[in-house]
Chain A
Amino acid sequence: MSEFLANIQLGLSTALSAEALLFCFLGVTVGTVVGVLPGIGALAAISLALPLTYYLDPTTALIMLAGIFYGAQYGGSTASILLNLPGTATSAITCLDGYPLAQQGKAPLALFVTAINSFVGSSFAIVLVMGFAPLIAGFALKFSSTEYFSVMLLGLVAASTLSVGSPFKALAMVVFGIVLGQVGTDVNTGMFRFNFGILELADGFGLVAVAMGLFGVAEIMANVGQASGAPMGVKGMRFKDMIPSRSEWKEIWKPTLRGSVIGSFVGALPGTGPGIASLMAYAAEKRLSRDPSQFGKGSLAGLSAPEAANNASVQAAFIPTLSLGIPGDAVVAVLMGAMILHGITPGPNLINDQPAMFWGLIMSFWIGNLMLLFLNIPLIGLWVRLLSIPYRLLYPAIILFICIGVYSADNNVFDIYVVLAFGLIGYAMRKFSYPATPVLLGFILGPLLEEHFRRAMLLSHGDLTIFLQRPISLVFLLISLMFLGSVFMPGLRSKLVSRVRRNAPSDDAD
């Protein structure tokens, strides 16, 4: 216990330094802004900010980048509630009940409730991170390359089979990502692979360029020319209108807690992100509700549970990342890439070798979430006004930011062409609903997967059955097999999806 308190104290001393506080605030503010503005996600924002953090101390850099990540989850609900803009899977669920509430003139209430939900969901998950990450890391210290290979495989399989949509497309995209990760120099032999005689590819594709192409540029290409809604008039938002009444409090507290639990659990699984967490929380809440017909018509329970769940999942995603080095979703994968660029390898040794970084980051989550509560309740009017900037004026600036951002990572215009190429690939993938998240996970985990495979083969003298002989590895492989098997028994997943779809806004038109 005293050790635990000492760790917390160490974390607080890191997170409360003036520099850390400043960059934490910067991070959550940028996160809120990109979350509110439709069309730029946390992923593009983190990739953009990544080159800027090269000059910072790695802990401070991580605190800021993580702040963008969870800050965006707070902001995301604003656009969903006021504009009915289902930009991401997460915000699509918030739209279901958030927008009807806004139409009933209860936008201030809905915004207040989502801020509270987000805070509760995050707090719940941070406690879990504090408890579980060190435990899992301690357990994982015994891992050899064999176990690492298997757990990474599990992460990749889970990420693609648990997603919404075709699991085969998702699996194919994981593999495509692994292929992209192989471009460049083979670390063991120094041989060039798949570089097609292009010298710039000797180091492989840059993480920032791939991420910004697939998520930033592709998204803009898909969004331009789409009709955008005008924000609901929320002039003169008064604090009085925001506070829920006693009966409304009663309506939200249980769904919020249930959402936090579901979100934390889903988020802690390697490879599953906030989208699936909100979906599951919404489905569960609807099933538990005494009056499911209210869902989709402005139910506070239907708003609260997914909001709490997506924030909880975002924080809980740090459990596998910080303890095993397996990112929970694409955004955490980029964060992990950022750590690697800063010379820190996420994994079980991180907590022991860099306690100040680990505990400082965790403590900064608390501080950041408190800042976000302040940013999202008293200052909400500011963000609402931000929504009135039309997208057609916003996106040229975003493209410019992306181009100069990737250029500055290496001072090479070649990276601008790489971003464009991945933007076009990402656009085509979107059109045919091939998910982009697995590509990024495969891209980041692929090289590690190959490295551990080769090392495991070396240790076992080329005996493939080593993966089955070691019990922990066997368990991971069996779980992966279960996920793969679930693909052919599409019971649970399709049930989940159809349940929410039945409730989608377009179906409610009649």
Chain B
Amino acid sequence: MPVRQRTREQIAAASVIAVGAGLSAIAYGYPQGSMFRPGPGFFPFYIGLLLVLLGVMVALENRQMPMDDSDEDQPSGMRPVVAISVAMVVLALLLERLGFVPAMVAMFVCIGFAERRTSWLPLLGVCLFMAIFGTALFIWGLSVPISAFGAS
């Protein structure tokens, strides 16, 4: 269901307010100290309140902004975002367990789904290149403590 731009903007402003309020609430639990010797909770508490205030200002500003109420033109939508996120999680999970090359191959496969029509052959080429170049650069060149194949 298309959500109007103004509504989406206000949801964004509301999340800014929520983050600020949440941080202030947490910081209130830290020692506040005194003005003479501010504690670890002093600064964060007021910074959180400031964030709340600015979120309110953004929300007020949104009300006055002319906005186009049609649904935003998004040809690709969330697909690349999801695919890239999954790809990065997969890489993080496999990097130390299976090694650099298997992890990056799995990552490239996930990234292949970022676009509706992927030409897999060129992507495979890049993947092969990066497997060799990456191993040479990261593992041999910069001695990042991971192995090309196998757990590190």
B31, B107, B142 pick with most chain A CB within 10 angstroms: B142
Q: Tell whether, in the assembled complex, residue A434 and residue B40 are in contact, meaning their CB atoms are under 8 Å apart.
A: no
Q: Tell whether, in the assembled complex, residue A397 and residue B87 are in contact, meaning their CB atoms are under 8 Å apart.
A: no
Q: Tell whether, in the assembled complex, residue A172 and residue B54 are in contact, meaning their CB atoms are under 8 Å apart.
A: yes
One digit per residue, 1 when the CB lies within 8 angstroms of any chain A CB and 0 when it does not, for chain B 129-146 equals 110001000100010111
Q: Tell whether, in the assembled complex, residue A168 and residue B58 are in contact, meaning their CB atoms are under 8 Å apart.
A: yes
In the assembled complex, the CB of A496 is this many whole angstroms from the nearest CB of chain B, namely: 18
Q: Which residues from chain B contact A395 at a C-beta distance below 8 Å?
A: 111
Of the four ranges (under 10, 10 to 19, 20 to 34, 35 or more), the interface on chain A belongs to 35 or more
Residue A175 lies at the interface, judged by CB distance under 8 Å to chain B: yes
Residue A224 lies at the interface, judged by CB distance under 8 Å to chain B: yes
Q: Tell whether, in the assembled complex, residue B44 and residue A179 are in contact, meaning their CB atoms are under 8 Å apart.
A: yes
CB within 8 Å of A: which B2-61 residues: 8-9, 12, 16, 19-20, 23, 26-27, 30-31, 34-41, 43-44, 47-48, 50-51, 54-55, 57-58, 61
Residue A370 lies at the interface, judged by CB distance under 8 Å to chain B: no
CB within 8 Å of A: which B109-133 residues: 111, 114-115, 118-119, 122-123, 125-127, 129-130
In the assembled complex, the CB of A275 is this many whole angstroms from the nearest CB of chain B, namely: 21
Q: Tell whether, in the assembled complex, residue A400 and residue B36 are in contact, meaning their CB atoms are under 8 Å apart.
A: no
Residue A420 lies at the interface, judged by CB distance under 8 Å to chain B: yes
Q: Tell whether, in the assembled complex, residue A434 and residue B126 are in contact, meaning their CB atoms are under 8 Å apart.
A: no
Residue B104 lies at the interface, judged by CB distance under 8 Å to chain A: yes
Q: Tell whether, in the assembled complex, residue B31 and residue A189 are in contact, meaning their CB atoms are under 8 Å apart.
A: yes
Q: Please, how many angstroms separate the alpha-carbon atoms of A252 and B2 in the complex?
A: 49
Residue B102 lies at the interface, judged by CB distance under 8 Å to chain A: no
Q: Tell whether, in the assembled complex, residue A450 and residue B43 are in contact, meaning their CB atoms are under 8 Å apart.
A: yes
Residue B80 lies at the interface, judged by CB distance under 8 Å to chain A: yes
Q: Tell whether, in the assembled complex, residue A464 and residue B58 are in contact, meaning their CB atoms are under 8 Å apart.
A: no
**Contact partner of B34 among A166, A404, A434, A462, CB < 8 A?**
A462
**Contact partner of A175 among B54, B100, B114, CB < 8 A?**
B54
With A52-B142, A413-B95 given, is the CB distance from A193 to B75 under 8 Å? Answer: no
**Contact partner of A404 among B41, B58, B80, B134, CB < 8 A?**
B134
Residue B98 lies at the interface, judged by CB distance under 8 Å to chain A: no
Q: Tell whether, in the assembled complex, residue B26 and residue A454 are in contact, meaning their CB atoms are under 8 Å apart.
A: no
Stretch at the interface among A10-18, A35-43, A319-327, A424-432: A424-432
A175, A176, A453, A463 pick with most chain B CB within 10 angstroms: A175
With A52-B142, A224-B76, A424-B81 given, is the CB distance from A396 to B123 under 8 Å? Answer: yes
**Contact partner of A168 among B47, B54, B134, CB < 8 A?**
B54
In the assembled complex, the CB of B7 is this many whole angstroms from the nearest CB of chain A, namely: 12
Q: Tell whether, in the assembled complex, residue B44 and residue A399 are in contact, meaning their CB atoms are under 8 Å apart.
A: no
Q: Tell whether, in the assembled complex, residue B144 and residue A408 are in contact, meaning their CB atoms are under 8 Å apart.
A: yes
Residue A411 lies at the interface, judged by CB distance under 8 Å to chain B: yes
In the assembled complex, the CB of B72 is this many whole angstroms from the nearest CB of chain A, namely: 8
Q: Tell whether, in the assembled complex, residue B23 and residue A194 are in contact, meaning their CB atoms are under 8 Å apart.
A: yes
B79, B91, B146 pick with most chain A CB within 10 angstroms: B91
Smallest Cβ-Cβ distance to B111: which chain A residue: A396
Q: Which residues from chain B contact A458 at a C-beta distance below 8 Å?
A: 36-37
Q: Please, how many angstroms separate the alpha-carbon atoms of A193 and B123 in the complex?
A: 43
CB within 8 Å of B: which A437-480 residues: 450, 453-454, 457-458, 461-464
**Contact partner of A407 among B20, B95, B114, B127, CB < 8 A?**
B95
Q: Tell whether, in the assembled complex, residue A191 and residue B76 are in contact, meaning their CB atoms are under 8 Å apart.
A: no
Q: Please, how many angstroms separate the alpha-carbon atoms of A458 and B38 in the complex?
A: 8
**Contact partner of A416 among B36, B40, B92, B115, CB < 8 A?**
B92
**Contact partner of B30 among A191, A419, A461, CB < 8 A?**
A191
Q: Which residues from chain A contact B36 at a C-beta distance below 8 Å?
A: 457-458, 461-462
Q: Which 5 A-B pairs have the closest CB atoms?
A: A225-B76, A462-B36, A462-B35, A224-B80, A172-B54
Could you list 17 A-B pairs, sorted by A, with CB under 8 Å? A166-B61, A172-B57, A176-B51, A182-B47, A193-B27, A194-B26, A194-B44, A224-B114, A226-B75, A395-B111, A400-B104, A408-B138, A413-B92, A413-B93, A420-B89, A423-B84, A462-B34
Q: Which residues of A contact B (CB under 8 A)?
A: 52, 166, 168-169, 171-172, 175-176, 178-179, 182, 186, 188-189, 191, 193-194, 217, 220-221, 224-226, 390, 392-393, 395-397, 399-400, 403-404, 407-408, 411, 413, 416-417, 419-420, 423-424, 427-428, 432, 434, 450, 453-454, 457-458, 461-464
